[in-house]
């Protein structure tokens, strides 16, 4: 239970951070002054953490078995998995953008 709460909390924090940093609001201008290497290392760490969480969720889903019936907890896991997969795609695209930039 605590692990699933930690996963939910972390996913929410990452989601909020991505939404905040990705916003194009005229009132908020975020300029990242970190070096390219620091940005890459930070993104890789976030990606690794999300991949570990995704693996834990996938393992939990596979343990739920193949009864064919999805209870609320399993449906919630599928939802979390989709969210994490979306965040991973976003972070990997951002990493690719940084590593290919001159």
d(CA 42, CA 56): 21
* 22 membership: H or E segment, kind and range: helix 2-22
- CB contact at 8 A, 80 and 57: yes
Give this prediction's pTM: 0.61
* 50 membership: H or E segment, kind and range: helix 36-63
pLDDT tens digits, 36-90: 889 899 999 999 999 999 999 988 888 766 566 667 888 888 899 999 999 999 9
**On the CB side of 49, how many CA atoms lie within 13 Å of its CA?**
15
pLDDT tens digits, 31-42: 777 888 898 999
Boundaries of every domain in the chain = 2-100
């Amino acid at each position: 239970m605590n692990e699933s709460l930690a996963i939910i909390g972390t996913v929410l924090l990452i989601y909020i951070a991505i939404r905040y940093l990705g916003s194009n609001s005229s009132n908020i201008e975020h300029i990242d002054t970190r070096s390219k290497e620091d940005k890459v290392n930070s993104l890789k760490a976030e990606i690794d953490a999300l991949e570990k969480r995704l693996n834990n969720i996938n393992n939990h889903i596979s343990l739920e078995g193949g009864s064919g019936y999805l209870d609320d907890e399993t449906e919630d896991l599928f939802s979390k998995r989709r969210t994490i997969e979306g965040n991973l795609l976003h972070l990997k695209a951002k990493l690719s953008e940084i590593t290919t930039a001159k």
